[in-house]
Structure 1
């Protein structure tokens, strides 16, 4: 379709999405609300804007810690053997955050939304002393219209968040705090609400596709709005392919919607190998002026789950080579920078993963964007299994947010629920599935069941795709009982390995990396995949797990603090399982790997168990050039040799068609003599958000990595950045992840660094260890345009905006006067305003109570506007008098005042002119 010309229009300031991550204040521990006993306090406590304690506007937060988000306070704390084992023995508790926000007077009338992408776990949010939101999950976002509560100009707005991380939703490490991004979204009064564009492509016939776009509109203005909505689709090169237009009228404080069907012929299809993303841009005009515009990416692809043949993407059969992952990483907990998420997904791609189950919750939105770009098929999973309104809203939020992503192929409504085999479970899922289908009927619904498959009425009767956790022994029986229902493993394996360890030690909670150990309900990596890959009717599987994660240290307890399940450790360093799956999942190139390393002093002549993993036809093993044997490759169970240890060079050669096509070597190294720092990328963006993992290892005199080295390394960071933390993959390590030292574990550790805001030049890293040559690394910082962000307001300034105002009088009032505790009506409460009756009555008394913080001690009270003569009384004593009646600003020194203070102003009108306070009043530090 040809693009219609846009009407001549003046484009005004439209949507602004600004980061709110910078400039927060944090306090670890609860700040109890003061006990309220008096009549006046009790009365005011029930009123909007009059919260007490740490959520109050003028609360003294001067001693609070300054930080930027995302933030996880649990990972900063010590391990505690009395804390919850499943949470990784990390105490969580309660914490508070505060942030100040200035909104320009010119913005009055626009619409403002405060967004939190994730707070662990329960949160209460106040704006200017009024509760604006409660959130009961650590995994869903909060979208809060704060327009009614805002103040403009010099008066600051106060955001306060109380986070209760004692509440648990999972049985894994969940972190604590505002651990995902925060945003301030500013729009015109007529706007498209967050997630208000539904644009999921649908396949037609003969290569024709449609996008039945639905746009929701809202109006927070004072007049009905007549708008024109344009929607355009552009291909990956930016060429417009389709355009549509519709008209709508949006009522005051109401919503409306328009439907604009668009047709696209023969688009490039999205797949893990070819991630073709198309852009859908929605533009809203009122009276010819652009008032809102937003764009989202989507993709064209078909998917089909077949009961007999498994999964098909774009009509081609594909086995789901999936992993389950949680969202924590070494050094940073759950406050994972975007670039570290990119690194994690890249490691999975290199492994051969084509599918991810984000267990057991919706991921951060930027992670799904990465899945679209990098090419992963996603099982998007709901956290709380509950169809009651509060929790149904969480499920609906997830679907609305994520339904445009081509990567999402399955909605999962739960994981391993005890009622799954009952009528109760069936009825719950029936309702949740219906709610999903009302929002998106293009993807199937599943649930991760681990029992109840054979009861008369169970959850499988209410889902589209049957999902099974750990049912290898019953795969065939389940398929026979449900022959017409597509079937996938939603979770499998649960095998144990300690990275770099090849001799088990139960006493010290060490598990050898040969794939011999697994949970009693699970299987080894090789056995689990064989069971899936040899059944054509199985869509695929999701290994538990892609990475180790904190908590759930099965099969051990203290001193173990993280899991052993990962194909990789907490840093993304590979275990033996990594190479097992890589040779099974990557078949486009020949691969050969050897385990273990070849450093076994004291075991000369003793048999060492050697595992060779390959995707070729035959493998030959040589030690120091001497042939030890040749075997036909077992693509599922791999190959093993027993090799009497002799220092030197162990080599595996892979053959295909009789030709040498791949080789792997492990060598006996010398002792470590120096450290090495290996950056993940050549440079960092100097935007204060980009982060990079650096591999830390020890080398011998010949430059070979020493796989058994474990020196204690000390880090020093200088230049335009900082350390975010570090890890080494040892599930039994209790080292401080935020300190400046870390011991290598089986030859490796990882340091994560991040650029400073608006930085350039270099970030310098130096690593030292006793007896080893130090390593230095200089990382260039690319000067980068700052993303839109809300300026941090470091404010020791407090605005006095709650005054008790006595009735105007003809006689000078007593400066010690104050209203009775039970009198809520004689004196006005609020911001002062000039009144004509004040001039007629001559005198006006204003009374304000506030706290002089340490930062304000010796400072001043700044009256932006004052009219008439005035007296100023501070804590019962007159401190100044104004003799001029001319309007203007005025300063009153605080002197020695500290802590709680009472300020009284008595204004006196002259010659019938209004007198009194005329503008903001602020308490400021000394100049």
Structure 2
């Protein structure tokens, strides 16, 4: 079982947000119960808390796999050529998760909420056999009030989740399972609701700003409550700069909002370069004590999309140098640790990216926090285009959760919808845009249209900023037709490259990296950016994509299992597109790069590509000058060179002076492995993870670009491997196994610390014929975030009882009750007490012991019985209690499988009551 214990100090009434990531039980595949056919079964099935099978409280999950979240089961499975190409040929299917909670009686009266940040794809959630939530998107969170369903003390609470990952929302790899974090939140009955603080700053004039804070409160208590709501604002240094209070009265089981506008003068502005974040802390105070507290970050900045000049941040023109990204990574699928997300964003920052479109769904909340800290602007995009109530809730959830983030500058309501050029599309967007504006009117609404914006009535008439996917020939036509409408590329490029490949081999699904190949609807990286950069009215662009992703392996099919659109591969290793964009997007430092590698055959005619942001360059081979050219900032430069072994150099000049140099050399054969960590150390919190680059070196210590050796990994100490990849879009290797081939010289291993780890993590890598490599990564002991701790295995509780009419004549303990008779006998759960009066009392229940207790090793334990007792099981007397006084009873459970019928016959002492006064459990022998 799991004990509800917060591993952090908190006041008795304060909010506790406890991680629920640890200790889930998982079963892959559906579990279908036999059809319900009988009178009693039909009647019981329709009652609260009576879910059967794996959804029920007492289901035997003792042989299920134990795991921690985040979890993506699809990435663990084999590839199947019969599976969906869009999902990367990964079978998905259906899976079940279960977890147990034990709630201390001292917490009775508090408000309990389950939070699941995302589950792929559709999920049904039960608590104690009650359906508490059905979620229809794999990208939005579920917030579930479970307070009315809870049991306290030794009686365990059961969470059961059926995940249907056969359902698809996208045409890319979506993973399967509980792939983001989960939480249990304990709050005072009178509390701030989740996402209930609206704190989006507004500029009044010049340096005068306001945060028109709105706080939404709920009262789950048994009486109306009054409280003081206090909002405090802290500047980026942590200094308090403003505070305001308001009184609130919330009725029983009611929700209400209070407004607390706060004036802020001359705040430090948030920008891409200086990510100044202010902390807004809201407290609910009753009787001088803080009963709830919630904090969020926000930032002060202005944004403007101009129809002729593009995008402005804080009044300064910024060209959006953006990428679209999905959410999967090598080795882990969509269950990406927070620290690996930080690595991915850092790689984008180093590339020169300043804008991200999370396509085509809301990202994890932690990722948006990173975006704010690291300095990106964001197009936050809705997944399902539908203004009907169920789907409008998804859009409203995204806006409500995300509106405090200064990095978000656009709300996108859809991507590439067939009705975009019609009145239907216009009307749908008009309603969705209105819903967005009702929650946040400080940012423009857009939609990513791949055509149709020149018709008489279309979606472009219902949005604030028109987003265009790939319609380069229509950029100027639209601007001429609608010169007053702000315009941006919302998606562009769709060019193909296989990392490290320089010859296109169609029969092997390999595509050269010279930026010559693009989708029929798209453009090369160079063409797409030139079309954007040379048009001032285009606010910017979002390259499809920043990283390769599983699925959608256009223009290929099997055996290709991932895309080749990325500027980087699935690991975050740069392709040639990385350098093309880096020299175009980074202006404050001189850069020059050479491609390809210099390991060819004597006499090969090699097409050399020079990418630079300087004025001129010289190309030298073994010291001989081959070319002296002016740099082309859009097209790049190409020189054909007859290969000879040695050193190829490009020297960049500005103002006649050398400012940058790039070198590629002919290497020898690989002789040893090398492991290159991404950071100097790991945190021992069980969540921190690190990508480690694996490569082969020659005798002179140079990376060998064509190495493809199979590497075996062994990890020991305070961590473990959680997956690996190599960027090969055609690889079918097990991403969780012990081995991985290098692909064009590189692979990546991801290690994660164990919970409460203090020991360093040691990685050993070996390959036939090569010197092995070893790496030890120090682990810094850190306090784990508050969590629900693991305890012993769950017990079986016998809870649902029938109660026979009382009487003075001894009844037959095994008497039959008609299956359609739901009223002669009553119903109850322990504690069950009968007042003084009748002499005999009969209770009946059924249970199925867990497999590990069906062999005769189990015991039926009554925490307390008052009165003499006979215990009958399947018609056989198996135990007695001969004392009238209240006390425990322990009876051995005879061996046997299947459902058992338990009858308890109680005899009362004259003038005394009787009853089953505590839990009845099926347990191992003590």
Q: Following TM superposition, by how much is the alpha carbon of 1:509 offset from its aligned partner in structure 2, in angstroms?
A: 0.4
CA deviations over 1:277-301 (Å, ceiling 9, x no partner) = 0000001012222111110000000
The SS at the match of 1:161 is: strand
Residue 122 (str. 1) matches residue 122 (str. 2): yes
* Structure 1 residue aligned with 2:79: 79
- 8 Å CA contact 2:100–2:794 kept in 1: the answer is no
* Structure 2 residue aligned with 1:532: 532
- Taking the TM superposition and a 5 Å limit, the aligned residue runs for 1:394-409 are 394-409=394-409
* Structure 1 residue aligned with 2:638: 640
CA deviations over 1:768-801 (Å, ceiling 9, x no partner) = 1100011111111211101011123442411111
The SS at the match of 2:391 is: helix
The SS at the match of 2:651 is: strand
Query: Whole-Å Cα distance in 2 between the matches of residues 833 and 550 of structure 1?
Result: 54
Residue 845 (str. 1) matches residue 842 (str. 2): yes
- 8 Å CA contact 2:833–2:917 kept in 1: the answer is no
Query: Whole-Å Cα distance in 2 between the matches of residues 809 and 685 of structure 1?
Result: 66
- Taking the TM superposition and a 5 Å limit, the aligned residue runs for 1:382-461 are 382-461=382-461
Equivalent of 2:707 in 706, 709, 712: 709
Query: Whole-Å Cα distance in 2 between the matches of residues 351 and 543 of structure 1?
Result: 12
Q: Following TM superposition, by how much is the alpha carbon of 1:826 offset from its aligned partner in structure 2, in angstroms?
A: 1.5
* Structure 2 residue aligned with 1:5: none
Residue 582 (str. 1) matches residue 582 (str. 2): yes
Provide the TM-score with structure 1 as the length reference.
0.98
Q: Summarize the Cα distance change of 1:190–1:426 in structure 2 as closer, same or farther, 3 Å threshold.
A: same
Query: Whole-Å Cα distance in 1 between the matches of residues 827 and 739 of structure 2?
Result: 56
- Taking the TM superposition and a 5 Å limit, the aligned residue runs for 1:750-761 are 750-761=748-759
* Structure 2 residue aligned with 1:631: 629
CA deviations over 1:269-326 (Å, ceiling 9, x no partner) = 1011111000000010122221111100000000000001110000000000000000
Q: Following TM superposition, by how much is the alpha carbon of 1:808 offset from its aligned partner in structure 2, in angstroms?
A: 1.4
* Structure 2 residue aligned with 1:609: 607
The SS at the match of 2:852 is: coil
CA deviations over 1:23-81 (Å, ceiling 9, x no partner) = 10111110013210001100111111011111011111111111111111111000000
* Structure 2 residue aligned with 1:7: none
Query: Whole-Å Cα distance in 2 between the matches of residues 554 and 63 of structure 1?
Result: 41
The SS at the match of 2:778 is: strand
The SS at the match of 1:841 is: coil
* Structure 2 residue aligned with 1:678: 676
- Taking the TM superposition and a 5 Å limit, the aligned residue runs for 1:20-419 are 20-419=20-419
5+ residue gaps, structure 2, are 1-9
- 8 Å CA contact 2:283–2:293 kept in 1: the answer is yes
- 8 Å CA contact 1:120–1:179 kept in 2: the answer is yes
Q: Following TM superposition, by how much is the alpha carbon of 1:819 offset from its aligned partner in structure 2, in angstroms?
A: 2.6
Q: Summarize the Cα distance change of 1:808–1:833 in structure 2 as closer, same or farther, 3 Å threshold.
A: farther
Query: Whole-Å Cα distance in 2 between the matches of residues 119 and 587 of structure 1?
Result: 41
Query: Whole-Å Cα distance in 2 between the matches of residues 292 and 122 of structure 1?
Result: 32
The SS at the match of 1:852 is: coil
5+ residue gaps, structure 1, are 1-9
Counting matched residue pairs gives 915
- 8 Å CA contact 1:797–1:856 kept in 2: the answer is no
- 8 Å CA contact 1:856–1:925 kept in 2: the answer is yes
CA deviations over 1:561-610 (Å, ceiling 9, x no partner) = 0001000000000000000000011111000100000001xx31232000
* Structure 2 residue aligned with 1:3: none
Q: Following TM superposition, by how much is the alpha carbon of 1:648 offset from its aligned partner in structure 2, in angstroms?
A: 0.5
Query: Whole-Å Cα distance in 1 between the matches of residues 833 and 757 of structure 2?
Result: 51
* Structure 1 residue aligned with 2:773: 775
- 8 Å CA contact 1:651–1:665 kept in 2: the answer is yes
* Structure 1 residue aligned with 2:892: 893
The SS at the match of 2:153 is: coil
Q: Summarize the Cα distance change of 1:558–1:285 in structure 2 as closer, same or farther, 3 Å threshold.
A: same
Q: Following TM superposition, by how much is the alpha carbon of 1:907 offset from its aligned partner in structure 2, in angstroms?
A: 1.2
* Structure 2 residue aligned with 1:883: 882
Q: Following TM superposition, by how much is the alpha carbon of 1:634 offset from its aligned partner in structure 2, in angstroms?
A: 0.5
The SS at the match of 2:582 is: helix
* Structure 1 residue aligned with 2:5: none
Residue 861 (str. 1) matches residue 856 (str. 2): no
Q: Following TM superposition, by how much is the alpha carbon of 1:818 offset from its aligned partner in structure 2, in angstroms?
A: 4.0
Query: Whole-Å Cα distance in 1 between the matches of residues 828 and 629 of structure 2?
Result: 86
Equivalent of 1:804 in 802, 805, 811: 802
- 8 Å CA contact 1:526–1:580 kept in 2: the answer is yes
* Structure 1 residue aligned with 2:4: none
Query: Whole-Å Cα distance in 2 between the matches of residues 633 and 818 of structure 1?
Result: 94
Query: Whole-Å Cα distance in 1 between the matches of residues 60 and 12 of structure 2?
Result: 39
- 8 Å CA contact 2:839–2:910 kept in 1: the answer is no
Q: Following TM superposition, by how much is the alpha carbon of 1:760 offset from its aligned partner in structure 2, in angstroms?
A: 1.0
Query: Whole-Å Cα distance in 2 between the matches of residues 833 and 798 of structure 1?
Result: 16
Query: Whole-Å Cα distance in 2 between the matches of residues 190 and 817 of structure 1?
Result: 50
Query: Whole-Å Cα distance in 1 between the matches of residues 472 and 454 of structure 2?
Result: 15
Query: Whole-Å Cα distance in 2 between the matches of residues 323 and 18 of structure 1?
Result: 34
- 8 Å CA contact 2:671–2:699 kept in 1: the answer is yes
- 8 Å CA contact 2:516–2:524 kept in 1: the answer is yes
Query: Whole-Å Cα distance in 1 between the matches of residues 827 and 676 of structure 2?
Result: 63
* Structure 1 residue aligned with 2:920: 921
Q: Following TM superposition, by how much is the alpha carbon of 1:11 offset from its aligned partner in structure 2, in angstroms?
A: 6.2
* Structure 2 residue aligned with 1:507: 507
- 8 Å CA contact 2:415–2:449 kept in 1: the answer is yes
Query: Whole-Å Cα distance in 2 between the matches of residues 458 and 835 of structure 1?
Result: 69
Residue 562 (str. 1) matches residue 562 (str. 2): yes
Q: Summarize the Cα distance change of 1:760–1:11 in structure 2 as closer, same or farther, 3 Å threshold.
A: closer
* Structure 2 residue aligned with 1:493: 493
- 8 Å CA contact 1:853–1:899 kept in 2: the answer is no
The SS at the match of 1:761 is: coil
CA deviations over 1:317-340 (Å, ceiling 9, x no partner) = 000000000000000000101001
The SS at the match of 1:196 is: strand
Query: Whole-Å Cα distance in 2 between the matches of residues 835 and 849 of structure 1?
Result: 19
CA deviations over 1:378-416 (Å, ceiling 9, x no partner) = 000000000000001100000000000001000000000
- 8 Å CA contact 2:450–2:470 kept in 1: the answer is yes
The SS at the match of 2:790 is: coil
The SS at the match of 1:772 is: coil
The SS at the match of 2:602 is: coil
The SS at the match of 1:97 is: strand
- 8 Å CA contact 1:805–1:832 kept in 2: the answer is no
- 8 Å CA contact 2:125–2:132 kept in 1: the answer is yes
